[in-house]
Amino acid sequence: MTTKPSKTMDPVPNPHPDREYEIEIETPEFTALCPVTGQPDFATITFKYVPGPYIVELKSLKLYMWSFRDEGHYHEDVTNRMLKDFVNIIKPKKLKVTGKFNVRGGVYTTVTAEYDQEKEQA
């Protein structure tokens, strides 16, 4: 497996597809650039999901998160982009992505984006 940033994640077959369970992954070292100033933004990103046919391979998730490091993104955009990519690749039943961005100019930002397979299909 490569150790270079990547815009993809590796799906791994869910070892317990007969059971509904929740997985929570927290990544406290996320960085991207402010699209206005070019300064680094730091955040804790949390993925909380109920797996469908796949779970995410963690090293590929780390490389995916790393791929944003030198790119400019608004907090709202990057959080929703992660949700979309995770849903398209890992195909969870439910997913909540929370980006808790560190203070910049006296302002903290927390962005939460959610996906529910049942609601999307209705």
* Domains: count for the chain: 1
Decide if 70 is catalytic: no
Look at residue 1 and tell me if it is in a domain: no
Catalytic position from the list 41, 70, 85, 116: 41
Decide if 77 is catalytic: no
Domain membership of residue 74 as a residue range: 11-121
Look at residue 84 and tell me if it is in a domain: yes
Please write the tens of the pLDDT for every residue from 9-40: 999 999 999 999 999 999 999 999 999 999 99
The encoded tokens of residue 42 equal: 């730091």
Look at residue 54 and tell me if it is in a domain: yes
What average pLDDT does the segment 46-60 reach? 98
Instruction: Answer whether 100's CB lies under 8 Å from 43's CB.
Output: yes
Q: Tell if the pTM clears 0.85, that is, is over it.
A: yes
Look at residue 33 and tell me if it is in a domain: yes
Kindly write down the DSSP assignment for every residue of 38-60, as one continuous string.
Answer: --EEEEEEEEEEE-SSEEE-HHH
Look at residue 2 and tell me if it is in a domain: no
Look at residue 108 and tell me if it is in a domain: yes
What CATH number is given to the structural domain containing 79? 3.30.1130.10
pLDDT of residue 121: 79
